[in-house]
Amino acid sequence: MCGIVGYVGHREVTDFLVEGLHRLEYRGYDSAGVAVMQPDGLIAVRKKAGRVEALAGALESQPAGGSVGIGHTRWATHGPANDINAHPHVGGQGEVVLVHNGVIENYSQLRAQLQGLGYVFKSATDTEVVAHLVAHHLEEQVKLGGTIDDNKTYLRAVEASLRKLKGTYGLAILFRERPDMIIAARNGSPLVVGVGDNEHYIASDPSPLVGYTDQVVFLADHEIAVLTADRLDLRHRDTGRLSPSVQTLNQVSTEIEKGDFEHYMLKEIFEQPQTIENAMRGRFDEDEATAKFGGLNLTPQQLRRIDRIVLTACGTSWHAALVGEYLIEEFARVPVEVEYASELRYRNPPLSDRTAVFAITQSGETADTLAAMRECKRKGLPSLAICNTVGSTIAREADGGVYLHAGPEIGVASTKAFTSQVTVLALLALYFGRMRHLSFQAGKRLIGHLKAMPEVVSRTLECHESVKEVAQRYHEATNFLYLGRLYNFPVALEGALKLKEISYIHAEGYPAAEMKHGPIALIDEHTPSVFVVPRSGVYDKVISNMEEIRARKGPIIAIACEEDDNVAALADHVITVPSVDDYLQPIVTSIPLQLLAYEIALLRGCNVDRPRNLAKSVTVE
């Protein structure tokens, strides 16, 4: 959630740190800061609550020049968002300065112990405990004979400190007496090292590195990296030295720029024709009327043994999983359960060795999803990933999986990742279906429908002007209901989530038939109901639900197929979408709801790409 960036080399570090922090803003944060090694041997710390622009202003008035430094954007967990609690934090008498992403669960006990040793705390954070702890162990190492010019002294101090921490951390640490070095460590919170020409970088994700280097090393849990300008040493906390596995980063700067769009979210909504096509590219076997995947790492014989599938995810990915449940059960006739990852990681459900688990995640770093997948792997279940981020922890640790190929998603409110996830789940339904009961002709028909989706989604985006009119009418409402049936029930949930995330309006999604079991009490002339009602097998049922809302004078916004006169006669406002078969409707009907949330948020003056209190990648529990 927080963002970390660091550099050791020959460049002026401040400009890189500020630019890197700007690129990490999408992760969500409430303060920012940097620490820079100064020519006079001191570490200059500058930090401010608020946006990176405030930090940049502080650096203009109080410059901090040097070629080694670390930076941080904080998403508050312990203590309010203010200058004191902002990172970096100082340990001891200034001999240690560090930044931290994660949560230290035993920080209160460690804090009491350190206070007993005379360490004075200035902040309310758990991170300051780590800074003082490292300073304490550094002092202990010197007493044991370690010298301040020996990397091993600092490494041992860090290793001793890490063994006392319970929880998650991504750390980047500066030492006053070693101005040419950064030590980074990871457990449960992502870090990537960039390898340059006599320079090294550290970041929470690759985005700050784009344009500087394409050679990266993704740190795994319990790994520690010692970075100097000309050297990268990698160690495991428990087993010793490792050889870095350098990978090539296939990402270009234009992928993390807004281009001609006002916001990343709008850009990513309009990228969906291309990202859906990317999700399908190379994954059709026309001769066998099926899908094909190169990374599942299970043989057809192993896959045929599977008689139950668990889809686990959080947030928007969980809504995509609900669509996946309908798809796989309909086409493959395999029972599917959808589990909140945050619940599955602590439950002990009966799962046989004929159960496959798919962890669905955009970032590949979601803490709950990672923990749930690890728990299932521990029990010997085939654990696969549907993931967007190459090199992420979940992608590396899964037994196999499928990449979305949607490109970086910068907007906090997920859009293109959702439709890409649904597309991949449809491909998996086809794949499993053709292994079992689905006929050749049915497989060919499904392939044809999927191949048409990029063009269909391009036509769907033409509803944007209609959405703007609806947003203008209802942006001051304080409550919304979203209603749909079968494949469009998860779309109702997702539409409500989008509105809540970026416009801060209370919204709830329900199966339309459940409206009579309580939610109808909310209906009045001030509460809009958004019906997702394309033509389907339960179309008439949803029309009846609309009649019930209309009878109670509730405003109705309908997402309907083109030229649907029945809906037009009942709804106050109709946003039309192209007609597609039931099982592909979520890809189409979710798009006007993404646009509606976006336009309402704009009219309410909300920060669309960086909504309050939210982070793009939830890497803490």
Catalytic-labelled residue, pool 48, 267, 416, 616: 616
Lowest-confidence pick of 193-207, 358-372, 439-453, 538-552: 538-552
pLDDT score at 512? 81
Residue-wise pLDDT tens digits, 430-447: 999 999 989 999 999 999
- Residue 29 reports pLDDT greater than 70: yes
Both tokens of 502, joined, read 């970026």
Residue 541 has what pLDDT? 85
pLDDT exceeds cutoff 90 at 237: no
Q: Are domains 3-252 and 258-451 of this chain identical in fold? A: no
Predicted pLDDT at 255? 63
* Two tokens, residue 205: 């994700």
98-155 pLDDT, tens per residue? Answer: 999 988 999 999 999 999 999 999 999 999 999 999 999 999 998 888 888 888 999 9
The CATH code of the domain at 258-451 is 3.40.50.10490
DSSP of 481-542? EEEE-GGGHHHHHHHHHHHHHHH--EEEEEEGGGGGGTGGGG-STT--EEEE--SSTTHHHH
Measured CA to CA in angstroms, residue 334 lies from 283, 351, 422, 432 at distances of 21, 15, 17, 8
Query: Which class does domain 3-252 fall in?
Result: alpha beta
Q: Yes or no: say if 587 and 484 are a contact pair by the CB < 8 Å rule.
A: no
Query: Is 376 an annotated catalytic residue?
Result: no
Q: Are 429 and 331 spatial neighbours (Cβ–Cβ below 8 Å)?
A: yes
Task: Specify the pLDDT at position 619.
Answer: 58
* 251-257: long-range pairs with CB below 8 Å, 24+: 251/206, 251/207, 251/210, 251/214, 251/408, 252/210, 253/210, 253/211, 255/210, 255/407, 255/408, 256/23, 256/207, 256/210, 256/408, 256/410
> Which segments of 24-75 does DSSP mark as H helices, in order?
52-61
pLDDT digits (tens, 9 = 90+) for 473-484: 999 999 999 999
Average pLDDT over every residue of 29-45: 90
Tell me how far apart the terminal alpha carbons of the chain are, to the nearest angstrom.
Answer: 10
- Using the structure block, give the residue that is written with the tokens 């994700």: 205
234 phi and psi angles, rounded to 5 deg? -120, 135
Nearest to 617 by CA among 478, 412, 387: 412
**Largest distance between two CA atoms of the chain:** 85
**How far is residue 158's CA from residue 147's CA, in Å, rounded to a whole number?**
15
Closest CA to 5 of 29, 34, 47: 34
Residue 199: pLDDT above 80? yes
- Tell me, yes or no, if 616 is annotated catalytic: yes
Mean pLDDT is lowest, of 305-309, 398-402, 510-514, for 510-514
Q: Which two tokens stand for residue 233?
A: 């040493």
State yes or no: cis peptide before 88, omega within 30 of 0: yes
- Average of per-residue pLDDT across 47-53: 89
Q: What is the pLDDT at residue 616?
A: 62
- Residue 55 and residue 306: Cα distance in Å, rounded? 53
Strands 169-175 and 178-187: antiparallel
Say if residue 347's pLDDT is above 80: yes
pLDDT above 90 covers what percent of the chain? 64
Average pLDDT over residues 259-269: 91
Alpha-carbon gap, residue 517 to 511, rounded angstroms: 10
Per-residue pLDDT at 468 exceeds 80: yes
Q: What is the DSSP string of 385-407?
A: EEESSTT-HHHHHSSEEEE----
Q: Which amino acid is at 464?
A: H
**Choice among 233-237, 263-267, 515-519 with the minimum mean pLDDT:** 515-519
Of how many residues is the chain composed? 621
Number of C-alpha atoms within 13 angstroms, CB side, residue 543?
15
Q: What is the domain partition of the chain in residue ranges? A: 3-252, 258-451, 462-621
What value does the mean pLDDT of the chain take? 91
CATH number at 462-621 = 3.40.50.10490
Bridge pairing between strands 192-195 and 215-218: antiparallel
Give 371-392 pLDDT, tens digit per residue. 999 999 999 999 999 999 888 8
Dist CA 345 CA 352 (whole Å):
16
Residue 540 is predicted with a pLDDT of 82
The confidence band for 253, taking pLDDT boundaries of 50, 70 and 90, is low
pLDDT tier at 246, thresholds 50, 70, 90: confident
* Predicted confidence (pLDDT) at residue 251 exceeds the cutoff of 70: no
- Of the listed 2, 314, 387, 561, which one is catalytic? 2
pLDDT at 353 (0 to 100): 86
CB neighbours (10 Å) of residue 340? 17
The Cα–Cα gap between 411 and 86 comes to: 23
Residue 564's Cα: distance from chain center in Å? 37
Instruction: Check: CB of residue 269 under 8 Å from CB of residue 418.
Output: no
- For residues 23 and 72, is the Cβ–Cβ distance under 8 A? no
pTM listed for this prediction: 0.82
The residue among 261 and 327 whose pLDDT is bigger is 327
Neighbour-count burial for 459-494, b at 16+ CB within 10 Å, e otherwise:
ebbebbebbbebbeebbebeebbbbbbbbbbbbbbb
Per-residue pLDDT tens for 290-317? Answer: 999 988 888 888 888 999 999 999 999 9
**Residue 303 CA to its chain's centroid (Å):** 29
Q: What is the distance between the alpha carbons of residues 529 and 358, in angstroms, rounded to a whole number?
A: 33
pLDDT on residue 157? 95
Percent of the chain having pLDDT more than 70? 97
Give me the pLDDT at residue 181, please: 96
Residue 501 banded pLDDT, cuts 50, 70, 90 = very high
Q: Between these two residues, 513 and 418, which has the higher pLDDT value?
A: 418
